[in-house]
Structure 1
Amino acid sequence: MSADVFCEIIAGERPADVVRSDEVAVSFLDARPVFKGHVLVVPRVHVETLADLADVGPFFERVQAMARAVEEGLQAGGTFVAINNRVSQSVAHLHVHVVPRHKKDGLRGFFWPRTKYDSAEEAQSYAEMIGKAL
């Protein structure tokens, strides 16, 4: 494991409010939550980004279960589930944010500006560039 705070939490070397822990992932409350009940789900294996995670299925089963549990356990109206890859990633260890949501809770969509494609052809060219990378 690499030396980051999430690896330390996984190893039991740093305290955290653990919600669930198994052989695939560890889930714990975010120390700086967007809203109370904000959970981070992190894979036990140290990987920096989603692209680095070899077996995504079991990990996202844990994320899915956590999203359900946050809604049910907190009587939330829904959840915001998000991942940052490198940019805005405060810890270089893959982590998924599961944030409880309620109508009129003050969280307004995404916090970055939106743009538009200049034309349908430009949009198609982006789709093709990404598609070729697959």
Structure 2
Amino acid sequence: MTECLFCAVIAGSTPAIVVHADDVAVAFLDTRPVFKGHVLVVPRQHVITLTDLPADRLGPFFTRVQAIAGAVEQGLDAGGTFVAMNNRISQSVAHLHVHVVPRRKGDGLRGFFWPRTTYADSAEAADYADRIRGRIGSWLS
């Protein structure tokens, strides 16, 4: 089997801008964000779909997703978040991942059309990550 891209991020062999990592999940900035601050949350265990995640890991994983959603809203002064996942169809990497996308009223996101943007440079991406990272502790304490 070819190594999974997200498993490589988890292992540290593929670079990513990580906003949170623990024994349950790793959360990092999407390299092709819908909006700046778009985070992917992946379980450390390689599973492809939500139904593959063992039931005893479901609660801890979604506790991390909840924390990231709160941190994205607070750290980026977002009005809300869009939280979504695909199972097989439209799943760009065959490893369970949850998208946490910052939202603002009038941001133009409609339906399931996901426009993509880029960061101006690595410093801008690092700034977004720092702002999110700085709020995660209040959600996981």
Correspondences of 1:26-65 after superposition (within 5 Å): 26-54=26-54, 55-65=57-67
Q: Deviations over 1:21-65 (max 9, x none)?
A: 000000000000000000000000000000000020000000000
Q: CA RMSD in A?
A: 1.2
Q: Would you say 1:110 and 2:112 are equivalent positions?
A: yes
CA distance in 2 between counterparts of 1:110 and 1:26 reads: 25
CA distance in 1 between counterparts of 2:66 and 2:2 reads: 26
Residue matched to 1:99: 101
Cα distance, 1:2 vs structure 2: 6.8
In structure 2, stretches of 5+ residues that fail to align are 114-141
Residue matched to 2:87: 85
Residue matched to 1:3: 3
Amino acid corresponding to residue 32 of structure 2 in structure 1:
R
CA distance in 1 between counterparts of 2:2 and 2:59 reads: 23
- For normalisation by structure 2, the TM-score amounts to 0.77
Q: Determine which structure has greater relative contact order: mean sequence separation of CA pairs < 8 Å that are 6+ residues apart, divided by chain length.
A: 2
- Radius of gyration: which is bigger? 1
Q: Would you say 1:16 and 2:16 are equivalent positions?
A: yes
CA distance in 2 between counterparts of 1:21 and 1:2 reads: 23
Cα distance, 1:110 vs structure 2: 3.0
CA distance in 1 between counterparts of 2:41 and 2:2 reads: 17
Amino acid corresponding to residue 109 of structure 1 in structure 2:
G
Amino acid corresponding to residue 71 of structure 1 in structure 2:
E
Greater helix proportion: 2
Amino acid corresponding to residue 83 of structure 1 in structure 2:
M
In structure 1, stretches of 5+ residues that fail to align are 112-134
Q: How many residues align?
A: 111
Alpha-carbon contact 1:2-1:46 (below 8 Å) kept: no
